[in-house]
Each structure stands twice: as C-alpha cells, then as structure tokens.
A and B are shown apart, each in its own frame.
Chain A
C-alpha cells in the first residue's frame, strides 16, 4: 500500500469509497505495481478480496505483498482472500485429468466464443458465499465488503475471448460487486500501440480500454515519460475521476510522476522529483 497514492485518491484502510469501479491501464508501461497497492490496501482494510490472478503465479504476488507488509498465505487460510490462480487452473483445462474437481472458471479456454459466463459465476459465488446475511459457523471472522481485483483483462483477448465478452464480464462484475454488494472492483488492462486509432477499430485492446473507461468511476493510466527513459522517474500516472464527487467538487484529471522502489512507489507532482529538487 503506497501512502502517497492513498492521499491522492483520498483512501485509507479505514475509509474508502464503496461501490467504486477502478480501472488501471497502461500503455508501453507496466501498471501492475498498482494492483499490488490495491491488494494490500483492501487486505489491510479487512475486506473480502477475490483476486483473479491470470498472468502470474500465486507466489509472485505473495512475495511482493510480503514486502508491502501483507501475507497472502495467511489471508487465504483465514478465508479473507479467494485467489484464482489462472495459470495453474488453465493447465487442468488444457491437460484434463480424470479425477479433476477444479472450478469451471477457466472453462472459457476450451471454447472462447462461449464467453466468460463461467468466470463470472465463479466471481459471484465467491462474493456471495460468505458475504452479507448468511449465518456462518462460529469463529468465522467478519470481513468487510467484497472487493474484486483482476490482473489482467487484456490477456483474455490473447486467449481468444472477444472484446464484447470481456466488456459483458466486467459489466456483470460491476453490477454484482459494486452495486449489489457495495464493494469495489479494480481491473487492470494493458495496451500498446498508438493511441488515436480512428477508424476501422479492430484493435481489440484499444476498444477494450475505451469500453472499460466508460464503465469505470476512477481510472489510473500509467505511461512512460513523453521525453523518454529516466532513471529516477519511472513514468507518469494520470488519475481521472469520472463521477461527480458528492459535495459538488468536480476534480477531473490530475497528473503525477512516480518512481517504483523496493518497498513501494512514491508519487509526486510533475517536476518535483527528489532527484531534481
């Protein structure tokens, strides 16, 4: 959890807006450090976290979260974290074995044209299972609102799923987790290539990014510096609030530069990096 980012977004483990749909995106850069921030933030806030880790193994996230002060293994044991390890599950789909009782979440790999309904069912059942209103066994801890994190959505396009299916999936996740359960959704999508693709939009990644931007309420877009590589500044983040704030303030966009280091990332206004001042 990055303290500077918390103050920028006005969140903290004790108070954060509920029902938010956050979109993390990057272009020619890597925004996955933001996923680790949100993961550790919501685990510290004692929320029920569902993590769809489609691109890295569990150990990868575990190791990084350890450096941020959160133990994923412990959270998983306590039932706070539900982790879908996409890489491992996909192996069981591609190489089916007889006595497999794995979840059907990754079934879209068999036939991508079918869509992501089974993945959504997995999300819904994990979100609802020990969420609001059910009488759990004694000793089960009370967790906060449900949070869904997805890392990342653009890889689904490479697996053959259409842009429409991914947008439908994100819509359903938002409807269930944000509106019905008053939780939060954080999704990462990546794209490369030039930004302004005007016509003949068969660049799936661009269209996916635009569709997700329309759906989200807060977007963080990570890019490299327009002037090129810099050792002390790793890139810039554009934070865009798409919904009116409750008290009438209408902050639209803010630009920050960031640097990722061992135990986190620091954010600062453009031109105020400690290496410069």
Chain B
C-alpha cells in the first residue's frame, strides 16, 4: 500500500506521517516530496524543524525548482527583527497568500515539517481548524505533514489524525535500515483500508517495500504451532507397537493399592497364621481421661 500512497493523494487529501524519537519519519516525508515533484506538482514546504539545505539534501534533478521552501527554521518565533515566517503566521490567510505568491497553473501540495512544532505553540483546536480550512479552501491540493507522536498527548495526536485521509506510523524495523509502516487510508466513500509493511529507503529517495508482512519480532512465538513429535529423529526407538502398548496398560504397578491386592490381604490364604485379638483393659486408653478417674 505504501507505493500506492506514494503515487499521489486525491484532491483534498491530507497525509500524516507519525514518527517517534526512535525513528525519524523525515526521510519518508522526503520520499513523498520527491514523488510529488516527479509528478510535476508544485510543492510548498513550511520548514520549521530543519534547514533548507538539510531538507533538499538528496533531492536531485531539475524538478527541485518546483520545490518552494518557506523558511520558518531560522526564526520561527520572531526573536529577530525580520523573521521570514513565524509560527504565529500559521493561519488560513497567511498560508493562502504564501502559496499563491508563486503562481502555478495547478494548485500546490503543501508539506508541513513539522506539525509538532505548530502544535507546541498553538492550541490543537486552532491547528485543526486551520488544517480543515486549508483542505476545503482550494488554494492547496493536498497537505502532507510530519507529526512526532511521542511529543504530544494521545488525544491531541488522535484529533489531528482524525482529519487526515491517510496516516502512516513508522517504527524502527528489525534490521538496520528497515522500518515498519502501519498505514490507514480513508477513501471518500468511507471505506477504511489498513496495512502494515516493512520498507527501506534507498539513496535516491525511493521506497523499497521489503515484505508485505505482519510479522512481529522474533520474540513472539507462533500462536498455533504444530506439536513437535519428541520421538521423531532419534537414534533409538521410543515408539510402542500395539501389543507392547496393551501389555503396558495391563501391568499392575507395584505400589498401587488396587482392589485385587486389598482382597488378597484381607482374605488371607489358608495356611498362613490367623491373628486373634481380644481387647485388653490396658489398651482402652482414653485421651481425655488417661487415669480413668473422672466421673463424667
């Protein structure tokens, strides 16, 4: 499903890449940007977290001129005198103006790196409102955003992802450069498709899907594993034939007190001694009255 998502979102689409401190989703975001540029789309990037050089690193070719980087990295809070773009300018009017500055025939794709930066300085409802307005506005065709899921509360992450048409959650994979992507895609008809794939990113910013697996780590055992036969593959024979099994089941074990043994003991065979017992006065020992002098 990952290549399908890379091929493009429909108009009004909103893609969110969720990552965490253990694996950065920025490389995957760059793959999406690369794919959009290859499709001859104009891409506007609101760069809060990384500089322009770092974001453009790896993007090659003439289509890079269709990438417009709006620098919100050097001064996002307006601490210097001439900030290029501050986080406080994240609203519908400013963004529309920004995107329309570079006029293109087609509406552009807006990439936000990252949504977490904005969520740290604006309340989640305001951010959601702006994003929804952008989607319906028409100035941008599609929005892609990077979200650091471990930096916010689950409710905030949930609210923002609720607006999205596709959400990709990336986590580190088993081997060095592999990662696991869990994808959820909501189509306009209301159908929701979920998938999980293991992928790796090549140097040219293309994604290679290693396996369409839902395999978890090697630590988790398979749930329905075949019972392995312990008597197989041995150099000696542990199996029983039918007659042997019958004889085994017939055998009376030596110390088991079965009914036959009981009757044999109780009804002693003739010729063996008989025991005659007559109770003696001394044998009548009362625990509660050892001297036998209580008048009860």
Q: Is A117 an interface residue (CB 8 A)?
A: yes
Chain A residues within 8 Å of chain B by Cβ, number: 28
Which residues of A pack against B, CB within 8 Å? 117, 120, 164, 167-168, 171-172, 175-176, 179-180, 198-201, 207, 209-211, 213-215, 242, 244, 248, 250-252
Selected from B24, B121, B148, B150, the residue in CB contact (under 8 A) with A242 is B24
Binds A, one of B70-78, B92-100, B101-109, B257-265: B70-78
Does B234 count as interface, using CB distance less than 8 angstroms?
A: no
B79 touches A172 (CB 8 A): yes
**Residue from B150, B154, B177 having most chain A Cβ neighbours under 10 A:** B150
B153 close to A201 (CB less than 8 A): yes
For the residues of A in contact with B, the DSSP-based class is helix
Q: Are the C-beta atoms of A179 and B74 separated by less than 8 Å? A: yes
Pairwise interchain contact B51-A175, C-beta atoms closer than 8 A: yes
Question: Contacts of A120 on B, CB cut-off 8 Å?
Answer: 79
Give complex CA distance A2, B121 in Å: 40
Contact call A200/B153, Cβ cutoff below 8 A: yes
| CB within 8 Å: A-B pair count | 55
| Contact between B120 and A164, CB atoms less than 8 A apart | yes
- Say yes or no: A244-B27 contact (C-beta < 8 A), given A167-B120, A214-B148: yes
The complex places the Cα of A248 from the Cα of B202 at a distance, in Å, of 9
Contact B176 A175 (CB under 8 A): no
* B203 A210 Cβ-Cβ under 8 A: no
B contacts, CB < 8 Å to A:
20-21, 24, 27, 49, 51, 53-54, 58, 73-77, 79, 116, 120-121, 148, 150-154, 172, 176-177, 203
Q: How far is the CB of A75 from chain B (nearest CB, A)?
A: 29
Chain A nearest CB from B199 CB (Å) reads 13
- Contact call A179/B53, Cβ cutoff below 8 A: yes
B73 engages A179 (CB within 8 Å): yes
Contact A210 B151, CB 8 Å, known A167-B120, A179-B73, A252-B176: yes
Question: In the complex, which residues of chain A have a beta carbon less than 8 angstroms from the beta carbon of B76?
Answer: 168, 171
Please list 24 pairs of residues, one from A and one from B, whose beta carbons are closer than 8 Å in the complex, sorted by A's number.
A120-B79, A164-B120, A171-B49, A172-B79, A175-B51, A175-B73, A175-B74, A176-B74, A179-B51, A179-B53, A179-B54, A179-B73, A199-B153, A199-B154, A200-B153, A201-B153, A207-B151, A210-B150, A210-B151, A213-B21, A214-B116, A244-B58, A251-B176, A252-B172
A252 contacts which chain B residues (CB < 8 A)?
172, 176-177
Would you call B177 and A250 a contact (CB within 8 A)? yes
User: When chains A and B are docked, how far (Å) is the Cα of A244 from the Cα of B203?
Assistant: 9
